[in-house]
Amino acid sequence: MHALWRLAAVAVAAICGIVSAAGIEDGEKRSGFDFMTPQTQALQADDMSNPGMLWVLQGEQLWQQAQGRADVACSGCHDDARQTMRGVAARYPAFDAATGRPIDLAGRINSCRAERQQAEPLAPESDALLALTAYVTHQSRGMPITPATDARLAPFRDNGRRLFQSRIGQLELSCASCHDDNWGKRLGGSVIPQAHPTGYPLYRLEWQTVGSLQRRLRNCMIGVRAEPFAFGAAELVDLKLHLTERARGLLIETPAVRP
């Protein structure tokens, strides 16, 4: 097993170990959907077959359930999510005045639980948090990603760009090494995508479950033998802020399906 890992590490370094270039031109932007097999594309496209829809349906139920000491549901403040949440996910991460830094959608859900519902926060990657995040994001499916233009986000977005371009881990690779410079090439039989966050939370066949972008970022860090940031870390939110700017104009697909 260790021998296989070493071979995989060498392959990653050989394919992705090129100095980072400027990035991907707008005309070349492509969703990960475009790199999938027709079978996986069909699985995502059919809501009756897409396994991620189970989390969306669970989120719809949770949206209407009263929670916490305040005994209030999300719908108690926000009414019908199909109307009030339309386009919201397309603008996240957003600036949070209370903390003075960006907050992603999952963080906003937990913030609302604490402030409005007087409820305990949902654990990272818990079914409930993934379901609510998927349900809210699903209301923006088919809409273009339109990152917030709030000037207060600029230094955090810049930090996200720096993190994306920084070489890390024992393999000394950056996110850009693979996803800017070598997208479309094959690594271990799979096509390297451009890493646009168009479908999170998404159902990953490798995971056999739904997961967040933070989970995927942590997996990538482990893959290059780097110490991953903790769930909820500021660095992961900054990275997401950069990734959404990088994906500006691409359509939201949640719940996407990926290999």
pLDDT (tens digit per residue) in 233-250: 999 999 999 999 999 999
Nearest to 25 by CA among 200, 142, 183: 183
CA distances in angstroms from 122 to 104, 113, 126, 175, listed in the order given = 14, 9, 7, 29
16 annotated active-site: no
Q: Are strands 186-187 and 190-191 parallel, antiparallel or unpaired?
A: antiparallel
Q: Which of 24, 220, 224, 250 is catalytic?
A: 220
Q: pLDDT of 189-202, one tens digit each?
A: 889 999 999 999 99
The whole-model pTM stands at 0.90
2-47+148-258 has which fold?
Cytochrome Bc1 Complex; Chain D, domain 2 (1.10.760)
Check whether 246 is labelled as a binding-site residue. Answer: no
Indicate the domain borders of the chain. Answer: 2-47+148-258, 53-138
* Res 1: pLDDT: 39
Distance CA 92, CA 73 (A): 22
**Unique residue bearing structure tokens 């005045």:** 97
Check whether 175 is labelled as a binding-site residue. Answer: yes
169 φ, ψ (degrees, to nearest 5): 75, 175
Match domain 53-138 to its CATH number in 3.40.50.300, 1.10.760.10, 3.30.70.270, 1.10.10.60.
1.10.760.10
Check whether 82 is labelled as a binding-site residue. Answer: no
**pLDDT tens string for the chain (259 positions)?**
333 334 344 444 444 444 334 478 888 999 999 999 999 999 999 999 999 999 999 999 999 999 999 999 999 999 999 999 999 999 999 999 999 999 999 999 999 999 999 999 999 999 999 999 999 999 999 999 999 999 999 999 999 999 999 999 999 999 999 999 999 999 888 899 999 999 999 999 999 999 999 999 999 999 999 999 999 999 999 999 999 999 999 999 999 999 9
